[in-house]
Structure 1
Amino acid sequence: MAGKFKAFVRLRFAEILLAFLVLFSGILLGFSSGGFVVNFSKLGFSVVSLVQKGAGAVVSSVTGVVTSVRDIAVLQKEYQELSEKLKDYEYMRRSNVEIRKENERLREQLQFAAEIEYKNIPAQIIGRDPDNLYSGITINKGARSGIKKGFPVIAIQSGNVGVVGKVVIAGLDTSLVMPIYDTKCNISARIQNTRDIGIVSGNGSYSSPLNLRYIRKRVFDSLNHGDIIVTSGENGNYVKDIPIGRISKITVLDYDSSLEIELEPAIDFLRLENVLVVDQKNLNDKPLEARK
């Protein structure tokens, strides 16, 4: 039995050796005939190219991300710069609008100032004090400009002329004006269409109506809402025929012989910026052509 096993092993070994020799001979034959040649240079190049391609894709991707981030930063900077320029433009536009409006107001005031018979001094409001003794309005002109206590103050707004008040304190470079809505202000007034005369006084606030007193009941049927009340010019306190306000309410009181009349001021004091202080003792020195 042992002899048979050894014979079998020798046979299998011979077969394996034969197969190996046949395979080895085929390989040698392939190399020698050039039909089976492995180009290691080409193989290495392919591998390296593949690696380079992958690396290039990665680098390209990273570069694209970096470029995008940089572009975003540039866009943000440009956006901020444009936003600042837009703010500057808006500021300049608003400033130009304000300048045009101011020029229109000043042009209107200068034209009106040239048409007034008496000498007048243009001034600008620089302060308001509702707690003052006279609910005062402070203007930027005083005695140095020729202003004196008692001078009437008028203004023009959107083409409409109106009484503002009168000077009660004249400093060197500023003056205090008592407005017509002050309770201590009394103006001799006249109803423009009926020519009836009365006294206009204030209620202490620019938002409150003015009062017109001493108008007889018998003229009630001749009055209408919106009728203009003007200065009478009597006593020389105010320039004649300057509008004070318009009738807004008429009340008939049984126990009084006079009508109770409320007026809406001709001047919007909340929007008032510039005024004219009138010197009724001296005529306007502007050329007559400028006052026509």
Structure 2
Amino acid sequence: MARKSKGFRFGFSEFIFILLVVVSSTMLTFNSGKFILNFKKIGFSIVSSIEKCVFSVSDGIRNTVTSVAELRKLKKDYNELVIKLENYEKMQRSNVDIRKENERLRELLDFSVSAEEKNIPAQIISRELDNSFSYLTIDKGSVNGIKKNMPVLAYQNGNRGLVGKIVQVGTFTSLIMPVYNVSNNVSARIQNTRDLGLVTGQGNPDLPLQMQYIRKRVAPELNFGDLIVTSGENGNYMRDVQIGTISKITVLDYNSSLNIEVTPIIDFSRLENVIVVNQKELNDKHLQEEKE
């Protein structure tokens, strides 16, 4: 019977041999310095990468903090500029308003000085707009020489126009019945034809005035835009003060007179200053000229 061949066995002696070979190789590598050199390279790469990451993060944080600070400063500067711009715009508007106010007052003063009759400049301080019997209140009264039934004029856009008349006088304030009040009847003429009629209001400054008692036969002589002025009769108003312009002419079959609509020469929605006229006394300037 043939004998079986024995297989290779990894015994303790073989393990000791291999371990000695590995240890010897490792010691030889350490002694040659190659392993140490590789370790340094790997360590340097790792440390430098970490340092780079840390630097990038810290630089990013620093840049972010700097950007936030700059943004905060820019926002502050922007807000300051916005405030300055608003103040400048307000100043510009104020200057424009002041110039306009000065122009209005200059016109009023020029008219007040040049007028023959004694006059008292006043300012409107309140008005009733929702009542057919509307009135305007001014800041001048009896202490300023104002009396009942004195005519009230205004100088607007280069035109001297009729506002109304004084109907009540207090110590420091007075009440004006404007031409658009339904109870105010003004004797008036069409300037180019000199036809005489009566102008009345409709209780609202936004509605046209009505002129009545103009004969039908003069209709061909009338035109839109013709000027209506005070007649000067009855002593209520001076002569030839502008009231308004013709805006519509209606011929009624059952009436012998024309129905004429008149647009007031004064824009009452923009009216601020008026002049109360004392027809019985001369203006100081004209009184002085007469004495000279």
Q: TM-score, with normalisation over the residues of structure 2?
A: 0.85
Query: Aligned equivalents of 1:217 and 1:5: distance in 2?
Result: 150
Deviations 1:216-246 (A, max 9, x none): 2232222111111111111211111101111
Query: Aligned equivalents of 2:27 and 2:211: distance in 1?
Result: 137
Query: Aligned equivalents of 1:213 and 1:7: distance in 2?
Result: 144
**Partner amino acid for 2:270?**
R
Query: Aligned equivalents of 1:203 and 1:133: distance in 2?
Result: 7
Deviations 1:108-136 (A, max 9, x none): 11112222111111111111013568410
**Partner amino acid for 2:276?**
V
Deviates more, 1:44-53 or 1:158-167: 44-53
Determine the structure 2 residue equivalent to 1:117.
116
Query: Aligned equivalents of 1:260 and 1:17: distance in 2?
Result: 134
Determine the structure 2 residue equivalent to 1:280.
279
Determine the structure 2 residue equivalent to 1:130.
129
Deviates more, 1:140-149 or 1:45-54: 45-54
Q: TM-score, with normalisation over the residues of structure 1?
A: 0.85
Q: Say whether the 8 Å CA contact 2:132–2:202 is kept in structure 1.
A: no
Segments of structure 1 that go 5 or more residues without pairing to the other structure are: none
Determine the structure 1 residue equivalent to 2:163.
164
**Partner amino acid for 2:21?**
A
Determine the structure 2 residue equivalent to 1:214.
213
Determine the structure 2 residue equivalent to 1:174.
173
Determine the structure 1 residue equivalent to 2:28.
26
**Partner amino acid for 1:183?**
V
The correspondence for 2:14, drawn from 12, 26, 46, is 12
Alignment of 1:1-292 (within 5 A): 9=11, 12=14, 15-16=17-18, 19-20=21-22, 23=25, 26-27=28-29, 30=32, 38=37, 48-130=47-129, 134-286=133-285
Segments of structure 2 that go 5 or more residues without pairing to the other structure are: none
Query: Aligned equivalents of 2:116 and 2:99: distance in 1?
Result: 28
Deviations 1:30-74 (A, max 9, x none): 36xxx8764988987765554333222211111122222222222
SS in 2 for 1:270: helix
Q: Say whether the 8 Å CA contact 2:153–2:274 is kept in structure 1.
A: yes
Residues 206 and 21 of structure 1, relative CA distance in 2, 3 Å threshold: closer
**Partner amino acid for 1:63?**
R
Residues 51 and 6 of structure 1, relative CA distance in 2, 3 Å threshold: closer
SS in 2 for 1:286: helix
SS in 1 for 2:192: coil
Query: Aligned equivalents of 2:9 and 2:230: distance in 1?
Result: 152
Deviations 1:192-219 (A, max 9, x none): 1111212111122112221222222232
Residues 165 and 251 of structure 1, relative CA distance in 2, 3 Å threshold: same
SS in 2 for 1:195: coil
Q: Pairwise CA RMSD of aligned residues?
A: 3.2
Deviations 1:117-167 (A, max 9, x none): 111111111110135684100111111211111110011111122100001
Identical aligned residues as a percent? 55
SS in 2 for 1:153: strand
Q: Say whether the 8 Å CA contact 2:246–2:263 is kept in structure 1.
A: yes
Note the C-alpha offset of 1:93: 1.8
